[in-house]
Structure 1
Amino acid sequence: MPTLSSGYVIAGGYADKLRRTAFAQLRDEIKGGVISSQEVARAVGELNSTLYKILVDRFKVDKGDVVRIRIDYQIE
C-alpha cells in the first residue's frame, strides 16, 4: 500500500505539500488514465479539510508549528 508522506513541513503549508506530493506519486496513474487529475484534486481537498479539523480544532496546532503527515492510501 503506498504512503503519502509530507516530510517535515510548517503546519501552515501542509495542504500545498500534500497536494504536490499526491500528484507526484500518482503521475503515472494519471497519465495512464487509471485516475483523473480532477479525482486526485478532489480526494486531496477532502483529506486537507479533514486534516485541518484534526490539526487545528482538535490538537490546536499553530500555523508556525512543524508537522509530519504520513497516510497510507489505495486507489479504487
Structure 2
Amino acid sequence: MSTEEVNRDMERAEEYEQLTPRTTALGGNKFEISTGLIIAARYADKLRRVSLVSLSKMVPKDIIIRDVSELNKKLYDEIINRKIDKLSVIRITVTAHYDADKKKIFFDDVKIQRYYTEDECKRQYEEIAKENEKLKSEISTIRQKLQELLAVNNF
C-alpha cells in the first residue's frame, strides 16, 4: 500500500470515528468490528478503515494494515465462493484480538451477512411457489396412482 493510500484511509478513518463508531469493546485486547451495511465491492476499504479507527490506539498502523489485508484476502475467497455479487448489500462482523507479544491481530467469528432487495425476495418467493405447486401436483398424481393400485388389488 502506498503512503498516499494509508493517509487517505487514516483521514477517512478519523471521519468514521466521529460519525459512525462500528466497534464494540469485548474486554482486554478484544473487539467486535463491523463494516455496517455496504456494497460487497467496498468491504475491504471499509473493514480496513474501521479497523484503523478501532485499533490504532493500541496496535501499530502497519500491523493493522498487514493483518486486515490478510483477512480481506480470505473474505474475498468466501464472498466469491458464496456467489455474492459485487453490488450486493452485505455486513461483515469479526472479532479481533491483538497479541502484543506476537505483534499480530487474530480474527475470529467472521460473519458475512447478505441482504436481499425486495425484488430479489419476490423472485425467490415466486420460484419457491412454482416448485411447491409442482410438488403438490406430483403428490396428487402419486396418490391417484396409489388409489388405483389399491382398487385393483382390492385393499
TM-score by length of 2: 0.44
Higher relative contact order (CA 8 A, sep 6+): 1
1:59 aligns to what? 82
Letter in 2 for 1:73: A
| Count of residues in Structure 1 that have an aligned counterpart in Structure 2 | 70
C-alpha distance in structure 2 between counterparts of 1:11 and 1:54, whole Å: 12
User: Structure 1 stretches (4+) deviating beyond 6 angstroms?
Assistant: none
2:37 aligns to what? 8
C-alpha distance in structure 2 between counterparts of 1:70 and 1:3, whole Å: 7
Corresponding residue SS for 1:73: strand
2:68 maps to which of 36, 44, 68: 44
1:16 shift after superposition: 0.3
Percent of aligned positions that are identical:
36
1:27 shift after superposition: 2.4
Corresponding residue SS for 2:36: strand
1:14 shift after superposition: 0.4
C-alpha distance in structure 1 between counterparts of 2:56 and 2:60, whole Å: 10
2:146 aligns to what? none
What RMSD over aligned residues (CA atoms) do the two structures have, in Å?
0.8
Q: Which runs of 5+ in 1 are unaligned?
A: 30-34
TM-score by length of 1: 0.87
1:75 aligns to what? 98
